[in-house]
Structure 1
Amino acid sequence: MIFKNFFTNSIGILISRIFGLIRDLLTASVLGANIYSDIFFVAFKLPNLFRRIFAEGAFTQSFIPSFIKSSNKSIFTYKTFIKFLFFLLFLSFIVTIFSGFFAKLIALGFDDETLKLASPLVAINFYYLPLIFSVTFLGSLLQYKNHFATTAFSTALLNIALISSLLLTNGMDKKTIVYAMSYAVIIGGCLQLFTHIIAIKNRNLLKLFQYGYTSRSKKQDKIKDEEKLFFKSFSHAILGNSTPQISAFLDTWIASFLLTGSISYLYYANRVFQLPLALFAIALSVGIFPKIARLIKNNDIDDAQILFKNGFWFLFFLLSLSAIGGFILSEEIIKILFQRGAFSLEDTKNSAEVLQMYLIGLVPYGLSKLFSLWLYASHKQKEAAKISLFALSANVILYAVFVQPLGVKGLALASSCAGFVLLIFTIRSFSIKKFLDIIIDKKLAIFVGLILFYIPTLLYFKEIINEYL
């Protein structure tokens, strides 16, 4: 069942990323790596930051354990949803009014003219956030029912909407294109929400909201302690899950001071980097988290550890092979994916070098995702938050070390090094003894032998690929 959930998530993510690849190919061909692509990526950066924090960690990892423990699930569900939704709608309204301030906050290095172009796009894109929160909330309820397909496959709808906007506006001026893409983000969010509402209705989960609404005032005192515990856990989980997202946000912010196109190099490289991270680490973590949370709640620690160990080795093999393969073939990957139209050979070279720096951190970030879920299932969100803050502080310090000599590559390298800091301290919190019990295994020898065969094979194929490029 667990690996069925993994493959469901993974296939859904793969389909979404295929459409995402098509979207990026069109974006690179139509916009290239210039001020207009930088403006759109900046405008989408803030809601995308919150989306990743919500959808790929903090909310689900706090909500599911709290929902499992709740004695009044309907009221807890309704009140949690309403409070978050109204807050995010209010926040979106604030961003609309002060869009210039938020645009400057994201890209401080932009000049006044560029900020003027970016501000309305920031406001439009931000309304994706309340939509994707609603999707995440409903997806958490579906995960509780061991249904993962809707959330996994509906992620492609955002990319389909963006692809449609690029096809419809191809040949128009670039300003029109980035506006069309921004409105497509909202349309994609609406489509995702619609599919989740259908799935929730089909599984008879709407009654949670209906009963929660009708009894919201009668029994609200019964869940005050549950709400307090959840929001406390959620606030800690936001910090605990936000290190890679905030790092990417800081990358964009600092890159706005560097050469034109730097933000785009980071974006295209990070898109490739995120594929194995989402396809393997996030898919596996989402798939096994509800089961581990239940086992820990029921004190079935041995069964939880067996499940976790199997998940670790499965993920370690996949991430390691992806990181090594991507590092060796980085330039070929970028060239095949993006080098056409307005995307030049120089853009390929720069993006490939940034990708190599990001891939150094693939294994630590992916494994950190797995180890942190044990902390969340054990209601140790506060501990995870402290670890995340420490890693983020290390990332900021490393910016000062790497950015000046390496430029945009230094941003990616600093983020990767912070991933190692995050992994080390997460393992320490998880238990070094339990980690050694996992790692001291015959699978380690199999892994070493596989790598000794894998690297020469990759180098051979690299030569063959270059003969045809």
Structure 2
Amino acid sequence: MESQSNSWTSISLAAAVVSAGSLLSRIVGLLRDVMIASLLGAGPLADALIVAFRIPNLFRKLFAEGSLSSAVTATVTHVREVEGEARAASLIRTCLLWTVGIFSLLLVLAEYGSKILAAVLAPGLSMSPDVFDHANTLLTMTLPYLVCIGLVAFLSGVLHSRKHFYAPALAPLVLNCTLVLGASIAWICSLPVAETLCVSLVIGGVLQVLLQLMFLRGEVFWRGAWTLRDAHARSLGKTLVPTILSGAVFQLSVVLVTMLASFQAKGTIAKLYFADRLVQFPLGLIGVAIGVAVLPALSSLAVSNDRQKYGEVLASAVQFTLFLSLPAAVGLYVLAHPVLQFFFERGAFSALDAAAASAMLQAFSLGLPAFAITRPLLSGYYAKQNSRIPLLAGGCNLAVTVVSGALFMQMWGGAGLALAVSCGGWVNCILLYVLLRREGVCLAQPGRWNLVYALMSVFVGIACWWAVPFGIASLLCIPVVALGYVGCLYVGRSPDAQLLFSLVKKTGRKH
């Protein structure tokens, strides 16, 4: 039964669950961003709100979709496999106490140092005192969300370790629905948009916690002694900081370029944010979903020391990620301007804003395959509880991002900053892959199917390029091109296309 749960098919089904939840969340999240762009545009008010949201968003990516959740999943799975369910339950209770205490302390420190945080996040805004003060006020309103996201990340990790993926997948949807409702109320009732969204963020965080607890209410690990001392919790704490830094390199890169963007023209921060949100859409559906789904299986295989199966599962995850991310990146690059026009060019968000943001989106899309592949590769390290190499690769990523960002923004402005993030992402991805192979993990060399996917993605780009002159109407070609891509590969007996069709069939039977 265990080997069946660790098969690539079962992992793909779990990834499909995560991806479905992510799809719903990203759709509602895009609606949220469309409303923000329409109500605030891409000017100083939007800059202030995005700076205020940067810390909560960073913590959400760091923990709920990254390091804390992944580390908890790997550690709890390892302890349960080796020492049994009762020992794992004791570890969960201890870690919960530490999570509440640490994130409460972070909240207090952040509230007292909010001005310092605002100055670090966007040092260039200090040259506009009104915008800076507004950003600081909004930031203090969002900071209570930190405690909520810490709890969501921990509880999601526990659920993932038990191969329950529904509640964690739906948690971002709950948050985005709350934010959309808040934006709607602000618009209808003529309330301050930014302030209403900050309050909605905290309310959404509380609802996310309640959702995870609802799915865990019948679990037996709540019963038993509660203590702050646990050897495995201490070991988890020691590895958490490097895991945090390595697991959210992309988000840290975006924070760094946001700092650099604060020295650019007003509105650059907002445009970078909207371009980033569109890249996050396919990234969440592909890279994050596969990385989350593959981690519990890899953790079990690491405990059993089945190196061959471990390498096969990880190689399959990387190849499936490339199968989906390569055409997505090419299509997003070619159709960047129509996509920006469709989603954001209305209200206070002008045609000039859309044109500038589309160049940033193109630069981000160049790194999309690297960002996506990094997720399963990191899961390969987390499953072995190895955070040293991801930290090293992440450090190189950030160094490349900062140096190239400072250079590129002189030539291409905000688009140069986005390009710097993509360059850093490829450095991170290549280092993770090469060093994983040196550790003896039998990841297959890039095979013929990866080359086929790259070639087919070129044809995807040509088809999209042919449609570009039709403007926003060109987006109608996306489902046609996607079906053509998958259909051709299915006829050509691509294992990943066949797997995708089987997943669709199984999902259809369930419903």
**Pairwise TM-score range, normalised by the shorter structure:** over 0.9
Match of 1:108 among 119, 123, 127: 123
Match of 2:415 among 393, 409, 417: 409
Match of 2:260 among 247, 251, 254: 254
Would the alpha carbon gap of residues 171 and 30 (structure 1) be closer, same or farther in structure 2, given more than 3 Å must change? farther
Residue 90 of structure 2 contacts residue 221 of structure 2 at CA under 8 Å; is this kept in 1? yes
Q: CA deviation at 1:75?
A: 2.5
Matched ranges for 1:229-308 at <5 A: 229-308=235-314
Aligned residues: 458
Q: CA deviation at 1:127?
A: 1.2
Would the alpha carbon gap of residues 211 and 95 (structure 1) be closer, same or farther in structure 2, given more than 3 Å must change? same
SS of the residue corresponding to residue 350 of structure 1 reads helix
Which piece of structure 1 moves more, 64-73 or 26-35?
A: 64-73
Matched ranges for 1:381-392 at <5 A: 381-392=387-398
Counterpart residue identity of residue 223, structure 2: Q
Q: CA deviation at 1:295?
A: 0.8
Match of 1:145 in 2: 162
Match of 1:87 among 82, 87, 102: 102
User: Hey, what's the Cα distance between the residues in 2 that align with 1:337 and 1:91?
Assistant: 36
Residue 330 of structure 2 contacts residue 458 of structure 2 at CA under 8 Å; is this kept in 1? no
Would the alpha carbon gap of residues 187 and 383 (structure 1) be closer, same or farther in structure 2, given more than 3 Å must change? same
Residue 307 of structure 2 contacts residue 442 of structure 2 at CA under 8 Å; is this kept in 1? no
Matched ranges for 1:22-421 at <5 A: 22-70=31-79, 71=83, 72-110=87-125, 111-170=128-187, 176-201=192-217, 204-205=218-219, 207-213=220-226, 216=227, 220=229, 223-224=230-231, 226-421=232-427
User: Hey, what's the Cα distance between the residues in 1 that align with 2:439 and 2:221?
Assistant: 42
User: Hey, what's the Cα distance between the residues in 2 that align with 1:385 and 1:302?
Assistant: 25
Q: CA deviation at 1:102?
A: 1.9
Deviation string 1:14-63 (CA, Å, 9 cap, x unpaired) is 00011111111111111111111111110010121121011122112222
Match of 2:488 in 1: none
Deviation string 1:99-118 (CA, Å, 9 cap, x unpaired) is 22222221111122222212
SS of the residue corresponding to residue 48 of structure 1 reads helix
User: Hey, what's the Cα distance between the residues in 1 that align with 2:471 and 2:375?
Assistant: 33
User: Hey, what's the Cα distance between the residues in 2 that align with 1:437 and 1:191?
Assistant: 40
Residue 79 of structure 1 contacts residue 212 of structure 1 at CA under 8 Å; is this kept in 2? no
Would the alpha carbon gap of residues 377 and 85 (structure 1) be closer, same or farther in structure 2, given more than 3 Å must change? same
Match of 2:453 in 1: 447
Structure 2 gaps of 5+ residues are 1-9, 476-511
RMSD: 2.0
1:13 aligns with 2:13: no
Deviation string 1:119-144 (CA, Å, 9 cap, x unpaired) is 22111211111101111111111111
Which piece of structure 1 moves more, 454-463 or 401-410?
A: 454-463
Deviation string 1:268-320 (CA, Å, 9 cap, x unpaired) is 00000111111100001101110111011111222222222221111101111
Q: CA deviation at 1:433?
A: 9.6
Would the alpha carbon gap of residues 382 and 437 (structure 1) be closer, same or farther in structure 2, given more than 3 Å must change? closer
Would the alpha carbon gap of residues 294 and 173 (structure 1) be closer, same or farther in structure 2, given more than 3 Å must change? same
TM-score (norm 1): 0.93
User: Hey, what's the Cα distance between the residues in 1 that align with 2:473 and 2:89?
Assistant: 62
User: Hey, what's the Cα distance between the residues in 1 that align with 2:29 and 2:41?
Assistant: 16
Residue 327 of structure 1 contacts residue 355 of structure 1 at CA under 8 Å; is this kept in 2? yes
User: Hey, what's the Cα distance between the residues in 1 that align with 2:24 and 2:411?
Assistant: 38
User: Hey, what's the Cα distance between the residues in 2 that align with 1:358 and 1:78?
Assistant: 41
User: Hey, what's the Cα distance between the residues in 1 that align with 2:334 and 2:441?
Assistant: 29
Structure 1 gaps of 5+ residues are none
Counterpart residue identity of residue 359, structure 1: S
